[in-house]
């Protein structure tokens, strides 16, 4: 009996044999996904939902990463205005009925009530550090520098703030699974970079909250994905996350120069998601059917078929031809 798409994906995440290797790709639906504010403008939420439904109906992917364009921020007035570590440390948890919870749960539920029985759905969540970065008005490089500056100012104060923010993100992770019915979370984080950044600092300030979020998600579902984000060329020390308790790992294989078969040595107990680059210069975007088929087969020949889900380093360009995703799926089914 043929496996459903959901059964196929969960089997791959369990590192069991599958009829074919599943694949999944995603892209943004709002023009400015980082700074758009769906809490202030509900029309943005509708645009996001319409785009997500159009993609799922039109392409029928193996699994869905539920995009959260417009919901990237943490709508807490202290975090929104803080410019120093001590100001940030004054943050207090949001009430349970805050739109941060209720609006995101309602949005996710609109997707799961349509597709949740047939397709695995993973809700996008960012760690506290990335959330604070995204709430700044500068470029990505400027926001990275701002975060490193806060940690240099007062690491203990930043840790205290991140404990509160991570507590709310953990609550959202649990509720989005339990109340909205998503399969799990797609949890995005990345190394701290800049002056003073080190693994010791990361372990002190960032890791405790990130692990709390995963504990909350795992208590509600064992099917969660960790995304070690290499967006815009951000480089990460992947082994910092070797002990993170999560079923599946996704990292920027092309950006990091660590293909899936090498990643198995770092994460031998995890299922692996990825393999393709996500830029307009990469074969997934620009390639012919023959080139994409060949690259799919090359990735699987090197990485194997067990415990593998094909995907990209990160979000792909909005204008990518969806046929390219089909070519990957067809090629994966032919091995």
C-alpha 310 chain-centroid distance: 15
Average pLDDT of span 130-159 = 95
Average pLDDT of span 264-276 = 98
Average pLDDT of span 141-147 = 93
Structural domain of 279: 5-332
Mean pLDDT of the chain: 96
Average pLDDT of span 126-139 = 95
Residues facing 251 on adjacent strands? 228
Angstrom distances, CA of residue 31 to CA of 69, 70, 138: 9, 10, 17
Average pLDDT of span 73-84 = 97
Select the more confidently predicted residue: 139 or 82.
82
C-alpha 175 chain-centroid distance: 17
Q: What does the alpha-carbon distance between residue 15 and residue 309 come to, in Å, rounded to a whole number?
A: 10
Joined tokens for residue 230: 């290499």
Rounded (to 5) percent helix, strand, coil in the chain? 50, 10, 40
In tens, the pLDDT along 171-207 reads 999 999 999 999 999 999 999 998 889 999 999 999 9
Q: How many CB atoms lie within 10 A of CB 19?
A: 11
Measured between alpha carbons, how far apart are the two ends of the chain, in Å? 19
In tens, the pLDDT along 209-229 reads 999 999 999 999 999 999 999
Closest CA to 171 of 236, 119, 97: 97
pLDDT at 103: 98
pLDDT at 3: 85
Q: What does the alpha-carbon distance between residue 87 and residue 157 come to, in Å, rounded to a whole number?
A: 9
pLDDT at 40: 95
Whether the pLDDT of residue 2 is over 80: the answer is no
Per DSSP, 124 falls in state: E
Q: For residue 335, what pLDDT band results from cuts at 50, 70 and 90?
A: low
pLDDT at 196: 85
Closest CA to 309 of 247, 238, 262: 247
Give how many domains the chain has, as a whole number. Answer: 1
The CATH number linked to 210 is 3.20.20.210
In tens, the pLDDT along 237-255 reads 999 999 999 999 999 999 9
pLDDT at 248: 98
Whether the pLDDT of residue 334 is over 90: the answer is no
Length reported for the chain: 335
The helix or strand, by DSSP H or E, that contains position 121, with its residue range, turns out to be: strand 120-126
Cα torsion for 60, 308, 66, 61, to the nearest 10°?
Answer: 0
Whether the pLDDT of residue 1 is over 80: the answer is no
pLDDT at 61: 98
């Amino acid at each position: 009996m043929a496996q459903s798409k959901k059964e196929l994906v969960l089997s791959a995440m369990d590192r069991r044999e599958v009829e074919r290797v599943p694949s999944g790709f995603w892209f943004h639906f709002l023009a400015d996904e980082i700074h758009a504010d769906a809490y202030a403008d509900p029309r943005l939420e509708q645009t996001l939902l319409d785009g997500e439904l159009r993609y799922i109906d039109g392409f029928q992917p193996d699994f869905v990463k539920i995009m959260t364009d417009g919901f990237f921020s943490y709508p807490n007035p202290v975090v929104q205005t803080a410019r120093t570590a001590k100001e940030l440390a004054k943050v207090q948890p949001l009430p349970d009925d805050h739109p941060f919870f209720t609006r995101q749960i309602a949005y996710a539920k609109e997707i799961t009530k349509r597709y949740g029985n047939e397709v695995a759905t993973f809700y996008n969540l960012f760690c506290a550090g990335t959330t604070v970065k995204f709430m700044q008005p500068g470029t990505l490089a400027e926001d990275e520098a701002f975060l490193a500056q806060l940690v240099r100012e007062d690491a203990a104060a930043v840790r205290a703030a991140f404990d509160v923010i991570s507590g709310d993100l953990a609550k959202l992770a649990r509720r989005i699974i339990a109340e909205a019915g998503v399969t799990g979370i797609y949890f995005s984080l990345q190394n701290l970079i800049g002056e003073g950044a080190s693994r010791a600092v990361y372990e002190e300030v960032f890791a405790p909250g990130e692990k709390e979020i995963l504990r909350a998600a795992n208590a509600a579902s064992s099917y969660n994905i960790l995304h070690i984000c290499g967006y815009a060329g951000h480089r990460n020390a992947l082994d910092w996350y070797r002990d993170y308790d999560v079923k599946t790992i996704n990292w920027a294989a092309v950006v990091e120069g660590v293909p899936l078969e090498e990643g198995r040595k770092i994460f031998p107990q995890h299922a692996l998601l990825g393999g393709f680059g996500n830029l307009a210069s990469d074969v997934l975007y620009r390639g012919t059917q023959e080139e994409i088929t060949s690259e799919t087969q090359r990735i699987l020949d090197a990485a194997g078929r067990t415990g593998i889900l094909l995907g990209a380093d990160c979000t792909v360009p909005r204008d990518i031809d969806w046929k390219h995703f089909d070519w990957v799926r067809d090629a994966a089914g032919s091995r």
